[in-house]
Amino acid sequence: MTPKSRKRFALDIVVRPATFLFERGQLGEIQRVLREFAPTWSREARLWRSRSEQRPVNLAKASALEEAIQESTSKRAPLAQALEEQLGPSSYDRFLGSVELRGPDDSLTVIVRADEYVLAPSAGWWLFANEVCLQVRRGTVEQTAAAAWSAQVCEALCAALSPLHADVHAWDEYDAKNLDHEGGGTEAVGVDVSRHLPGIYWLNFFGKPYCELIGRDRLLSAPASEVRALDDGVLLRLADDPLEWASPAYKAVERRVLDYIGPAYFFSKDEPGRRTIAPTFDLGVHRSAPCFRVRNK
C-alpha cells in the first residue's frame, strides 16, 4: 500500500522531553506553543476521556495541563490500589499521568504524557517516558498546509523544551518501520531506546545525548534536504513532502543520510538483530535531567 492510497490523512508530531514534564515550566511552554500555532483549536479544546466524559479546558490558564494530568492520576488511583493489593507493589512506583486534548473536529488531537522517569520500563524495554504527541488528521491546520504547520510546531516545541529527540512522520511511514502485523495483531518494534533510536523519519530532532554520541558536526553535514542547528540539538529533514516517504527519491535520500550518519544508531525492521549503538542512560532516574554517557565508538 502506498501512502497516497490511504483514505485518511495521518501525520504525527512526537516530542520526547529530557526531564519530567512538571519541571522547568515545560507544560506552560506546551500550552504557549498550542495557543500560538493553533489559536482557534486552543480556544475550543476539550479534555477528552470518552465521548460521554469530556469538558472544556482553558489553555490560557498557566496551570491547565498540570491540573488536568494531576486529575488523571487521581481517577486511576482506585484501580492502581486494587492492582497493588492483588499483585503487590510496583517495582517502578512513580508519578505517571496523561491527558488527551481534542478540538471541535478530528483534525488535531494532542496527547501529553508526564512521567517521573526519564526512560520508562516496558516488558524488558526502555521507552522515552515523557512525550508530547500531536496527531494531525487533515491536510490543513489553522489554514496552513499540514506538513509546513507540523514542521513549525515541532521546531517550536524543540526550541522550548530541549528534548532528547523528536520527529514528524506520516503514519504509514511509522507503520512500515515500527509496526509488526504478523499473526493478526499489531506490535510496536524497535522502540527500545536503550539500544537505538526507533528510526529516521521525515523530520528529526537529535537532542544533546545524540549530538554527543553521533557528533554534532557530523549531523550538521548530513546530505539531507535541510539540516541546521536548533537549541542544543540538530534538526534534520529528509524531503519536502512527508507523504512521499515510500517514493524512490525519498528512499535514496534516506539511504544516503543513514550511510553518512551511521545506520547502527537506528533500528531497522529489515535487520532487527544487528549491532546498534545508543547513549548509556542511567535507567530509572527520577525527575532530574537524564544522566547519560557516550559509549566509546
* Mean pLDDT, range 153-172, rounded to an integer: 98
Confidence check: pLDDT of 133 > 50: yes
Q: Is the dihedral of CA 88, 91, 93, 99 positive or negative?
A: negative
Q: Strand pairing partners for 98?
A: 113
Over residues 236-257, the pLDDT tens digits come to: 999 999 999 999 999 999 999 9
The pLDDT-based confidence of 88 (bands split at 50, 70, 90) is very low
Q: What is the pLDDT of residue 283?
A: 59
The pLDDT-based confidence of 294 (bands split at 50, 70, 90) is very low
Confidence check: pLDDT of 67 > 50: yes
Confidence check: pLDDT of 75 > 70: no
The pLDDT-based confidence of 183 (bands split at 50, 70, 90) is confident
Contacting residues for 230 by C-beta, under 8 A, at least 6 apart: 155, 158, 159, 205
Over residues 9-52, the pLDDT tens digits come to: 999 999 999 999 999 999 999 999 999 999 999 999 999 988 88
**Nearest-10 crossing angle of helices 26-37, 146-161:** 150
Q: What is the pLDDT of residue 95?
A: 87
Q: What is the pLDDT of residue 3?
A: 43
Residue 118's domain comprises 3-293
Q: How far is CA 229 from CA 155, 202, 211, in A?
A: 11, 17, 10
pTM, to two decimals: 0.90
* Mean pLDDT, range 159-163, rounded to an integer: 98
The pLDDT-based confidence of 92 (bands split at 50, 70, 90) is low
Confidence check: pLDDT of 90 > 80: no
Percent of the chain scoring above 90 in pLDDT: 75
Count: domains in the chain: 1
